[in-house]
């Protein structure tokens, strides 16, 4: 990445997932990047459902590395506890819906809460989270996947609202929701019928989008090709 200058520092959350792992690998290969912190539940005990673990992780990074120029939340789930997206209103289960919101909206909101203070105030900084085009209300033409769609739509509102607050103290910061497209990961395997972009290519695309965004685009929702996605 060029827009953050030399010796920038990055944190990848969800770094054992297909996209998260690839993001961390791409950043570690970037000569401009001085530090890459990988966070995940399996390797570092980072738990989206436990705010205390999120707070501890942010505090640990601050103590060890100081400010973070890039924070990328690559968490998210389509299928949770063996239950995939519902196909009709009849299939709505309130417990499943609550879990979708916990993973795909509330967890990222807590990441914004605890990690946005790590962003530098006096220079460019990036904070991104993985959303999904199916969270777009304006682009919804097929229906179905109600809980997942609603959770991602909530995430988009969280990102937009957070960006307004963060801009007051971090005028050069960019907070963005990103749609990665269909990526060949374990998360999408039951739904993509063998198709999908390789994770390493998706990671390069997403980082490229972030690299090109200007401060005026903070709070936006963008696809892997850089195009804005309808709310």
Q: Read off the pLDDT of residues 96-151 as tens digits, 9 standing for 90 and up.
A: 999 999 999 999 999 999 999 999 999 999 999 999 999 999 999 999 999 999 99
pTM of model > 0.85 = yes
Mean pLDDT of the chain: 95
* DSSP for 124-169, written as a single string: -EEEEEE--GGG-STT--S---HHHHHHHHHHHHHHHHHHHHHHHH
pLDDT at 191: 60
Name the band, by pLDDT with cuts 50, 70 and 90, for residue 195. confident
SS3 30: coil
d(CA 45, CA 21): 16
Strand-strand pairing, 221-223 and 173-179: parallel
d(CA 127, CA 189): 27
Q: Read off the pLDDT of residues 149-187 as tens digits, 9 standing for 90 and up.
A: 999 999 999 999 999 999 999 999 999 999 999 998 766
CATH of 8-223, one of 3.40.50.720, 3.60.21.10, 3.20.20.140, 2.60.40.10: 3.40.50.720
Residue pair 103/77 in contact by the 8 Å Cβ criterion: yes
């Amino acid at each position: 990445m060029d827009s953050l200058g030399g010796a920038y520092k990055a944190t990848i959350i969800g770094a054992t997932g297909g996209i998260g792992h690839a993001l961390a690998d791409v950043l570690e290969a970037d000569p401009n990047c001085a530090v890459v912190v990988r966070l995940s539940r399996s390797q570092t005990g980072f738990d989206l459902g436990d705010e205390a673990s999120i707070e501890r992780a942010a505090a640990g990074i601050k103590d060890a590395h100081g400010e973070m120029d890039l924070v990328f939340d690559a968490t998210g789930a389509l299928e949770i506890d063996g239950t995939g997206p519902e196909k009709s209103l009849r299939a709505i289960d309130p417990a499943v819906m609550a879990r979708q919101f916990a993973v795909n909206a509330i967890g990222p909101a807590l990441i914004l809460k605890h990690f946005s203070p790590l962003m530098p105030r006096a220079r460019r900084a990036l904070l991104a989270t993985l959303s999904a085009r199916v969270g777009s209300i304006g682009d919804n033409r097929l229906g179905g996947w109600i809980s997942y769609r609603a959770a991602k739509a909530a995430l988009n509102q969280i990102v937009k609202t957070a960006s307004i607050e963060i801009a007051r103290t971090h005028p050069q910061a960019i907070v963005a929701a990103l749609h990665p497209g269909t990526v060949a990961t374990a998360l999408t395997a039951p739904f993509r019928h063998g198709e999908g972009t390789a994770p390493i290519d998706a990671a390069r695309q997403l980082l490229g989008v972030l690299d090109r965004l200007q401060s005026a685009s903070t709070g936006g929702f963008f696809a892997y090709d850089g195009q804005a996605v309808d709310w």
